[in-house]
Structure 1
Amino acid sequence: MTSPVTPIHSRDNSFVKELRKLSHDSTAYRKQGRVWLEGDHLCRAALARGLRPEIAVFAESFWPQVPAEWAQAARKVVVLADALFADISGLESPARMGYLLEWLPGQEPQPGQATVVLDRVQDAGNVGSILRSAAAFGFTQVVALKGTAALWSQKVLRAGMGAHFGLHLVEGAEASALEALQVPLIVTSSHQGKLIQHTNLPWPCAWAMGHEGQGVGPAVEALAALQVRIGQPGGEESLNVAAAAAICLHASALAAAG
């Protein structure tokens, strides 16, 4: 079935204005109830997970070359003049396509799931990288506490490289919500706890990754069943939170497999 096609050439078009906000305002998706996926990699990742976009958007010069399945995946198609697509794009080299997906707020943590808890992790690149590691190492849920970077912002989406679509994502949670996870909560420290390689890691579990400068907060630490540390024989004071998360999640995956 062919989706209806709407060409747009005006900067003042209301759809273009909404798209520009989604592309440049990190929390606009919460107000609009839609997420903007720019570029064929993110779009293909969404389709691979069985998601159906509301609207497919293509640059005018790319439209004649668009594979039929990319256009037919959406309920509606918009073709933007190339200059308009470049104007709304958040990329240095603008992509030639994007999808608009419905976004629903109010997700609740699911009990019994292997989970990553983000406690005020503020750098979007770190957040996206942690989501990518979570999906790679068999974690199915990410709970972002208040103060964490917006999970569906453009920077986090790009850093996540499609990991979003394989995870149950919860935003804006309070520390008290972690009690509903019903799995052991593990926190990391550079100075306290057993070395990770000498720890019997439970599965499933929840790993809490904290603020880049302050680490995990006291409210989360109070709920921890286990505290571990990552040995750093090179003498560095601490690891980047995304690097630390990758080490911890990989260690859990090995423990689960063994």
Structure 2
Amino acid sequence: MKQITSRDNPQFKQLKKLVEQPRARREQDRILLDGAHLIDAYVAEGGVPDLLIVADGACSEDAQHTLNANPAVEQLHLPPGLFAELSPVATPTGILALAVTPRLPVPAEPVFALLLEDIQDPGNLGAILRSAAAAGVDAVYLSAACADVWSAKVLRGGQGAHFLLPLLERADLCALATAFNGQVLATSPHGAALYTLDLRQPSAFLVGNEGKGLSPALMACASVKVSIPMPGRIESLNAAAATAICLFERVRQQAR
């Protein structure tokens, strides 16, 4: 067990870079997992953390269980004030893990794909990934302007989805949509009603930016525009909610 009490400590500075800088996460191929649930999900999929970071005197029961379940992993103890500088939440659970960024192989010919263009809200992106994992999506492709998929907020929103999904960042979405061996469905306010389409065939959904939607260039790569019927007096749905509805309509049709 190691103890750090100063924010000038080189190891603490390096950990803080991982929290704040996507470039540092890419260069080190490391992420910080916040909370017992995420750490346990990582371990359940075969991951072994490099380091467990513990808040002295502020470790929850779940966090203590995670510590006990990983006795061989080195521990770093921090005062609560320093720990709070690494945790993205207002009320930390008292445990973080430094871990290798998981990279699941992307299938050469997915039959159920999700292409995300410029999703910028980390909470939205995390929720979308969680729905994609739950729906059994084969691969998720993200444009360069999406929020950093390995940020703490996206990881927390994903609730372990990152460890189950092949993710391809900074992807050329137009090229992928053009090459996809199946129908490519662009979410749009003005398109064919989702529930009238046959989604039992290979399908790729295109989902665009929260405010602007899909770019004209990517929209042009789609086979069909698809909309979600909304009888209520609301103009649009949250991107994460709309994506979940589309994905699980395919799940429903596949189960028939």
Fold shared by both chains (TM-score > 0.5): yes
Give the total of aligned pairs: 251
Distance 1:221 1:106 in 2: 28
Instruction: Find the counterpart in structure 2 of residue 240 from structure 1.
Output: 238
Distance 1:234 1:12 in 2: 55
After superposing the two structures, state which structure 1 stretch, 60-69 or 247-256, moved more: 60-69
Instruction: Find the counterpart in structure 1 of residue 92 from structure 2.
Output: 94
Distance 2:82 2:14 in 1: 13
Are the structure 2 counterparts of residues 60 and 71 from structure 1 closer, same or farther at C-alpha, using a change threshold of 3 Å?
farther
What pairs with 1:1-258 in structure 2 (closer than 5 Å)?
5-26=1-22, 28-61=24-57, 62=59, 65=64, 67-72=67-72, 74=73, 76-103=74-101, 110-175=108-173, 176-192=175-191, 194-258=192-256
Distance 1:106 1:168 in 2: 5
Aligned-pair CA distance for 1:30 = 1.8
Distance 2:183 2:109 in 1: 11
Aligned-pair CA distance for 1:230 = 0.7
* TM-score, length-scaled by structure 2: 0.88
Aligned-pair CA distance for 1:86 = 2.2
For 2:248, give the aligned amino acid: H
For 2:70, give the aligned amino acid: W
String of CA shifts for 1:198-233, please: whole Å, max 9, x gaps: 111144321111011211112222221222111111
Distance 1:162 1:203 in 2: 28
Is 2:102–2:163's contact at 8 Å kept on the other side of the alignment?
Answer: no
Give the SS at the match of 1:36: strand
Are the structure 2 counterparts of residues 142 and 122 from structure 1 closer, same or farther at C-alpha, using a change threshold of 3 Å?
same
Give the SS at the match of 1:191: strand
RMSD over equivalenced CA pairs, Å: 2.4
Distance 2:186 2:55 in 1: 46
**Structure 2: stretches of 5+ with no match in the other structure:** none
Aligned-pair CA distance for 1:15 = 1.3
